[in-house]
Amino acid sequence: MPSLMKFLHLAAAIVWLGGISFMLLALRPAAAELLAPTQRLPLIAGVLKRFFPLVWLTIGLLLLTGLAMLLAVGMKNAPPGWHLMFGIGLLMFAVFGHLYFVPYRRLKRAVAAADWPEGGRRVAQIAMLAWVNLLLGGLAIAAVIFFV
């Protein structure tokens, strides 16, 4: 059972952080180079529409499996790195919640209204928050490796 929890936890982290890395480092620069805003922004909105349900699923899995591992040893006995991961993880969930309910919702509205300058601003905001989460994800992993 602990191995299954760790497997699901790791798989969820890989899907989330791998997806963010792919979008920021590969898809977004290629789309910026090759497509005009009229094509680029609907493409990005369409990609996010498919990726974000997966992110909600990874958040649920990370929280459930992470808490299962943490509570199995007890908060008192858990090493500092585990507490750090819990805290950083909660921060990442909050950043994603903001990203989803504010700039992403406005991006969808902008694309529906063909308001490309507004859409471009919202994509830039989403990318900035995604960078924050990528960095936090790296820190969370470093915490459970170096502070145990």
Q: How far is the CB of 5 from ligand HEM (least distance, A)?
A: 8
Nearest to ligand HEM of 74, 117 (CB atom): 74
Binding site for ligand HEM (CB under 6 A): 6, 9-10, 13, 16-17, 62-63, 66-67, 69-70, 82, 85-86, 89-90, 92, 137, 140-141, 144-145
Smallest CA-to-CA distance from 90 within 62, 113, 71 is with 62
Q: How far is the CB of 148 from ligand HEM (least distance, A)?
A: 7
Nearest to ligand HEM of 126, 144 (CB atom): 144
For residue 78, give the DSSP letter.
S
Q: How far is the CB of 116 from ligand HEM (least distance, A)?
A: 32
Nearest to ligand HEM of 5, 35 (CB atom): 5
CA 69-72-73 angle, 5° bins: 100
Nearest to ligand HEM of 29, 87 (CB atom): 87
Kindly give, in sequence order, each residue whose CB lies less than 8 Å from that of residue 91, ignoring residues fewer than 6 positions away.
136
Q: How far is the CB of 53 from ligand HEM (least distance, A)?
A: 17
44 burial type by CB count under 10 A (0-12 exposed, 13-18 middle, 19+ buried): buried
Question: Helix crossing, 2-22 with 116-146: angle to 10°?
Answer: 140
